[in-house]
Amino acid sequence: MTRRGTAAGEAHRLLPRPLLVIITLFLCALVLVPVLYILLASLNTDIGVAEGQFWPSTFSGSSYTRIWTTADLAGGIGNSLVVCGLVAVASALLGTVTAYVLVRYSFLGRLTILRGLVGLQSIPGTLMLLPVFVLFASAGNYLGITVIGTRWGLFVAYLTFALPFSTWVMVTYLRGLPRELEEAARTEGASTLVILFRIIVPLSLPAIVVSGIFAFLLGWNDVLFASVLTRPETHTAAVALQVFGATQEGGALPVYSQMMAAALICAAPVVVLYLIFQRYLVGGLTAGGVK
């Protein structure tokens, strides 16, 4: 996986080193300057942030302790991690399965489904909010299945919203996978499921990681659906964060400093997860597989 310093490594180099350094530094600066502002603001006082200070006139780390009581941030992060984690896994796998059928087989309506999946991506959340709520509420009212306020309900909603995208990512990726491996497996009598889990999944791990990340983030940052589909016990991090952003009509300042601190704390788990999983974003798994 690592190709450092060897002649083969040089061959794999995509950009000359100086250019690489310049671009990397530029992009890092682009990202980090506002993030630095967020960090500094979290160490500033509310009134300092409201004044628009970049460098705090007084440093205070109290926000980092206060955020845990101002809103149920710990519970929110916990709920988010659980729900979004499951959504990521489920969406990536279900997307792979669906994509596999759509890519490898032809049947009536295949194109319609593919196009339809993209079409589903273009539906705005605000349009769906009331109808989805009504649907879930009806399940509770008429079928006796409580959906509103459970983590389950949120999981189902997020999974469904993430599915079209995950499927399409896998479709794009799977299209490029050489068939020979699968065909070899089939001649040995492997079932579809076995092929899926023993060949396809391992080979398409980069795409699975990517679609998992997106599915995770979709749930992590969603506020609209989380705010109506959850109760205080099942609040996600995004909903808890809203409390910090609250603006009262005339008078009290929003707790800017805590909002910034909470935002960083909420971003941290995702970044950590990414740090862990990004090692799967490497190639070479299909390299010369069948030559």
Footprint (CB under 8 A) of another protein, residues 174-203: 175-179, 181, 183-194, 197-199, 201-203
The single-letter code of the amino acid at 85 is: G
Among 126, 143, 219, 265, binds another protein (CB under 8 A): 126
Contact pattern from residue 24 through residue 53 relative to another protein, giving x for each residue in contact according to CB under 8 A and a dash for the rest: x--xx-xxx-xx-xx--x---xxx-xxxx-
Query: Could you say which residues in the range 129-148 bind another protein, by CB under 8 A?
Result: 129-135, 137-138, 140-141, 146, 148
Residue 202's SS3 state is helix
Phi-psi category of residue 245: left, alpha or beta, with phi > 0 → left and psi -120 to 50 → alpha:
alpha
Should residue 18 be labelled a site residue for another protein when binding is judged by CB under 8 A? no
Which residues have a Cβ under 8 Å from the Cβ of 102 and sit 6 or more positions away?
Answer: 110, 113, 114, 167, 171
* Residue 52, CA distances (Å) to 49, 75, 198, 256, 259 in order: 5, 31, 55, 11, 15
**What does the DSSP assignment read for 151-172?**
HHHHHHHHHHHHHHHHHHHHHH
Give burial (CB, 10 Å; 0-12/13-18/19+) of 244.
buried
* Residue 172, CA distances (Å) to 102, 175, 179, 207, 214 in order: 11, 6, 15, 9, 15
Q: What's the min distance (Å) between Cβ of 125 and another protein?
A: 7
Q: What's the min distance (Å) between Cβ of 36 and another protein?
A: 10
Among 43, 77, 84, 260, binds another protein (CB under 8 A): 260
Should residue 238 be labelled a site residue for another protein when binding is judged by CB under 8 A? yes
**Cα angle vertex 269, ends 240, 162, to 5°?**
75
Residues touching another protein, count (CB under 8 A): 186
In the complex with another protein, which residue's Cβ is closer, 74 or 160? 160
Q: What's the min distance (Å) between Cβ of 23 and another protein?
A: 5
**Cα angle vertex 219, ends 124, 132, to 5°?**
50
In the complex with another protein, which residue's Cβ is closer, 64 or 70? 70
Should residue 15 be labelled a site residue for another protein when binding is judged by CB under 8 A? yes
Query: Could you say which residues in the range 74-113 bind another protein, by CB under 8 A?
Result: 82, 85-86, 89-90, 93-95, 97-98, 100-107, 111, 113
Should residue 287 be labelled a site residue for another protein when binding is judged by CB under 8 A? yes
Q: What's the min distance (Å) between Cβ of 74 and another protein?
A: 14
